[in-house]
Structure 1
């Protein structure tokens, strides 16, 4: 199996919500691989963010793919709306799904790519029996709910464990990390086996601009992978 492609995916949580369309266009111009929408319901996590109509309004403005990270307690009911809004990849949390197989199958049936996320305290084994159903696994490197948190370096052994599970499965599954990813942390996550990197604050706060941040994080990830 060839090495998976390094992908840089910004979260729009740090964006100016009054001009989300412009922000998406700027991110596309900066060279990102896709854009992540952190969907929070105020129940599964202590925050409230993007409904499908907001995402749908931005969808025609860019060509870059969208993914929805559904941090919600009842994802099955919301899945069709986010697919209709233009999200090609839907991430659900293992902790939020009563019947994870069924939820991932529903995402596939809706025509989107299924993915599953693990909170920091959730062991890697939670996804061991759904590897045949997913296109991506997300290992959270912060506790979900807010942007700008510090990277939890002790998640790197779990990233490594999930990468080993993927390799044993023989399937082409991306491994994503989300939380505190930037120039000082991306190398550790990449060396552990991640190939998709969610970056929020690091992109929006780079004094040299978003294109510089995307290029720098991508280069550091590539170098760490060897």
Structure 2
């Protein structure tokens, strides 16, 4: 199982996003948190900034839409050239239609669950999903502490994905660090969003290499 690290630009310098993207040449993708101050109590950036960032980096973008009305806005991000667009279960009113539209526009479809949202009711949606994102903090702010209570949910989700048989990435977002990433990998995650653990380091690229090695070690320990 390949371990992927997605640095979150939520922890980067917003005045220098192109430069910040260049500081992590070994990133698998760049994670972009889009917040609208409605679904979550925070406001970050939107489609115009994402479009500018697409022109400034060759690293694919993974846009996590923490917004109200994702059914309305998600297809536009895919159409703009974003590689992966994730909508929240708690906000989407027509998830199947929206996930299919994201794919139709050429992007990977992602589906996110907040910590208290169970995964089991969404098992029938796995055929529409390329990535399932489990929040390991409450959505809305970077720098929060990892919630250990989500670890059993990661294990259950891995079981559902394996039973389904599709190649679905299992992404973890929130509190990912050198202290937590091995446990998440051991539980079954393979894709990790890391904000302050990368951009708060003196050498962000070296931090990515360390996180990836630790995640791989967590998988090997579980074998």
* Matching residue of 1:142: 137
CA RMSD of aligned residues (A): 1.0
Q: Aligned match of 1:23 in 20, 25, 34?
A: 20
Following TM superposition, by how much is the alpha carbon of 1:61 offset from its aligned partner in structure 2, in angstroms?
2.0
| Partner residue in 2 for 1:153 | 148
Matched, 1:7 2:4: yes
Is contact 2:126-2:161 (8 Å) kept?
yes
Aligned residues of 1:94 and 1:126 also touching (Cα < 8 A): no
* Number of the residue aligned with 1:188: 183
Q: Describe the SS at the equivalent of 2:144.
A: coil
Query: What is the aligned counterpart of 1:211 among 205, 208, 211?
Result: 205
Is the CA contact 1:66–1:87 (under 8 Å) kept in the aligned structure 2? yes
For residue 221 of structure 1, what is the aligned residue in structure 2? 215
- Count residues with an aligned counterpart: 220
- Residue 81 of structure 1, CA deviation: 2.5
Aligned to 1:176: 171
CA displacement at 1:22 relative to structure 2: 0.9
CA contact (8 A) 1:53 1:85 kept: no
Partner of 1:95: 90
TM-score under structure 2 length normalisation: 0.96
Cα offset, 1:127, TM superposition: 2.2
Following TM superposition, where does structure 1 have runs of at least 4 consecutive aligned residues deviating by more than 3 angstroms? none
Consecutive unaligned residues in structure 2, runs of 5 or more: none
CA shift, 1:115, in A, is 0.9
Q: CA deviation at 1:59?
A: 1.1
The answer to whether the Cα contact below 8 Å between 1:55 and 1:86 also exists between their aligned partners in 2 is: no
Aligned to 1:71: 66
What TM-score, normalized by structure 1, do the two folds share? 0.95
Structure 1 residue 36: Cα displacement: 0.8
* Partner secondary structure for residue 149 of structure 1: coil
CA positional deviation for 1:187: 0.6
